Structure 1
Amino acid sequence: MAKLTVRAIDTARPKGKPYKLTVDTGLYIRVALDGEKRWLIKYVVDGKQREARLPKPYGNSGAGFMTLSAATAENARIQALARDGIDFQVQAAEAKDAAALEAKRTKVLDASVQEMFDAWLADGVTRKDGNSELRRSFEKDVLPSIGSKRVKDVTEHHLRALLRAMVQRGVARMTTRVYNDLVQMFSWAEKRQPWRTLMIEGNPANLLEIDRILPLGSTANAERSRIFSPDEIRELRDIFSTMDAVYESAPDKRAASKPLKTETRIAMWLCLATACRIGELLQAKWEHLDLNAGMWRIPVENTKKTNGEQQDHIVYLSDFASRQFKSLYEITGEDSKWCFPARSAIAGEQHVCVKSTSKQIGDRQMQFKKRKPLKNRKNDNSLVLAKGKTGEWTPHDLRRTAATLMQSLGVSLDVIDRCQNHVIAGSKVRRHYLHYDYASEKTEAWKQLGQKIELILSETAASSSKKEYGELLPSSIDKQAFSTREATV
């Protein structure tokens, strides 16, 4: 059979319908209606005829075309493979799959810490704030340092270096938090593919010792034990009163320093009077409260998750705590469903940020901060207690103080734990079957706590200096002493 020449192919013209010309054994050229000429190959593998179109059309020049000689050579290669029982199309598909698999394997081997962090956020960790604080801390200190590094290349030295850089910046407590988060992330990854494969040399976070990273004598990794003395409780009240007096007497209130928000002060007294967590309090709705019955229900979604468990909590309000909520209602109860509505929320449709009060308290204790003053925030020492001798305080320290006061009043540890809504330790079997609510015991504990707070606030520093937390409250106190006191004291 005569082979078709270049000239014959060039002179082939389109007809009323597409047609094929035989170029060589198994090689054809198809002339389309628009004149385009495409290469076709027919071959036989295992007794079955196959057909394939070559990827490039006919042409004598240019990278996008295939010449007659190139098509002839490709046809010869395909026919030779067919005689050996190999289908070139199957071979090409297998090669493509193998290349894709290798590319995927390479991509996995090159996976970065940023990718591992993203996977951990998506599937490995769920925190109450939607992981926003976790993301913020990693984006500030971790990812800029090791985010682009391949996971398989990360060593303990990289992790130690970034933590030490944080220590140098003066944020030892944050360093401890980031260390704990790194340990959690790498432990999660170590149990799952593909990250497990990438840590063939071991988990680098397991080789860190935070005590050797923190400055000598640092208490950042120590369990916090700050509690308020009776004198400090009174001092806090006096500071609040002084703030108001100074502001009210200022000749130009626009230029004067505004006192701490009344809502924030009430929140502090409620933390002390109920032993609640500040986040639980700031998410409270008025529908959760029955002030006539003296009850506050904290729904399960607002409580802290401990070992994967959460539980509803009922707070039986003392007279002192009830007065705080009633004073708060006069400020926010008419306009919002939230006890502590966000200032910027439309029609009170959102509660205040759960970190807002802690920031307000911290901003007014700047002598303990190793940072520059923040723009549009208070930056003073107006809430420093005991001239700073006892250190910085936080809203959570009021919760700890409340528990300590209950302990001093002879309240049992089991009841204190339940007043704080701790998930009680012990077997799941016990928690499954033992459901006594300790309502009367908790009511009495909160009542005694409220009376103790009022007693402390009624005393002078001199009269209380001889007393210890261990002294129990008398069975009754003169309520008349507090009849003229503001409800928010």
Structure 2
Amino acid sequence: MGTLATRELQALTPADNGRRLADGHGVFGVVRAGAKGISVQFSLRYRAGGRVRELRLGTFPKSSLRQIRDARDSARARISCGEDPLEHKRIEKLKKLAETGAEVRSLEDKLARKTFRQRFNEWTDSALQKRADKGQEIRRAFEKDVLPVVGDMAMEDVRRAHIMSSLDAIIARGANRLANRTLTDLKQFLKWCQAREYVSVDPLLMVLRQR
């Protein structure tokens, strides 16, 4: 336990600014009076490696006395096992930074991997602008049959089986001519992607007209 009570901390005034409060077992708090009110910053003083060290335990009232004392008990348990709580805290912080860095890199990789839809939009916005309808007919066809299947996939992850499932669905409703027209447009699009190294291999290279 400790020597302080929550009601004592709640009764502090600006006149107590800078005052040092003892909570026993090496724990002390320093009163701070600021624009947002009174706070008490608690720390644990201990010895490790022949040096006196101080570990921040929390700030009242953001942290309760119970939470501050739990942090104290956890730190003292480490000290009794020969560990340095400050060193442990530093290592944990480094681990979190490493994890955050890995998450950021993963997110960056995902953002760099554009989807089939994004590449398709780039194609229609550039390569199809000379067409009379600016590629609107192809857009409508792809929006109906292709993009719902592969639109949200990373472009380099799209395989022949994914695209063929779109064409098979068109054939299944008896629209063979549309299936062949869509196949032709897909091949043009994929050649455009391959020329820009958005894909390494054209997944439809050996696919012939649909019957």
TM-score by length of 1: 0.31
What CA distance in whole angstroms lies between the structure 2 residues aligned with 1:16 and 1:66?
19
RMSD of Structure 2 on Structure 1 (CA): 4.6
SS of match in other structure, 1:210: coil
Offset at residue 146 of structure 1 (A): 1.6
SS of match in other structure, 1:189: coil
What CA distance in whole angstroms lies between the structure 1 residues aligned with 2:28 and 2:122?
54
Matched, 1:66 2:71: no
Equivalent position to 2:163, from 140, 159, 176: 159
What CA distance in whole angstroms lies between the structure 1 residues aligned with 2:65 and 2:7?
10
What are the residue-to-residue correspondences of 1:94-133 with 2, within 5 Å? 94-99=95-100, 101-102=102-103, 105=106, 115=115, 117-118=117-118, 127=127, 129=129, 133=135
Residue 189 of structure 1: aligned partner? 198
Residue 440 of structure 1: aligned partner? none
Residue 179 of structure 1: aligned partner? 187
Offset at residue 165 of structure 1 (A): 3.9
Offset at residue 159 of structure 1 (A): 0.7
Unaligned runs of 5+ in 1: 60-64, 192-202, 216-489
Residue 210 of structure 2: aligned partner? 214
Letter in 1 for 2:99: A
Check 1:9–1:45 CA distance in 2 against 1; reply closer, same or farther (3 A cut).
same
SS of match in other structure, 1:129: coil
Choose 1 or 2 for highest CA Rg: 1
Residue 84 of structure 2: aligned partner? 83
TM-score by length of 2: 0.60
What CA distance in whole angstroms lies between the structure 1 residues aligned with 2:52 and 2:116?
49
Check 1:156–1:45 CA distance in 2 against 1; reply closer, same or farther (3 A cut).
farther
**Which string of whole-angstrom CA distances, capped at 9 and with x for unpartnered residues, describes residues 241-260 of structure 1?**
xxxxxxxxxxxxxxxxxxxx
Check 1:15–1:5 CA distance in 2 against 1; reply closer, same or farther (3 A cut).
same
On the 8 A contact 1:20/1:29 being kept in 2, the answer is yes
Query: What percentage of residue pairs aligned between the two structures are identical?
Result: 14
What are the residue-to-residue correspondences of 1:354-365 with 2, within 5 Å? none
Offset at residue 184 of structure 1 (A): 4.3
On the 8 A contact 1:21/1:29 being kept in 2, the answer is yes
SS of match in other structure, 2:198: helix
Offset at residue 149 of structure 1 (A): 4.2
SS of match in other structure, 1:163: helix
Check 1:176–1:190 CA distance in 2 against 1; reply closer, same or farther (3 A cut).
closer
Offset at residue 176 of structure 1 (A): 0.6
Offset at residue 185 of structure 1 (A): 3.1
SS of match in other structure, 2:14: coil
What CA distance in whole angstroms lies between the structure 2 residues aligned with 1:4 and 1:129?
76
Greater fraction strand: 2
Offset at residue 18 of structure 1 (A): 5.1
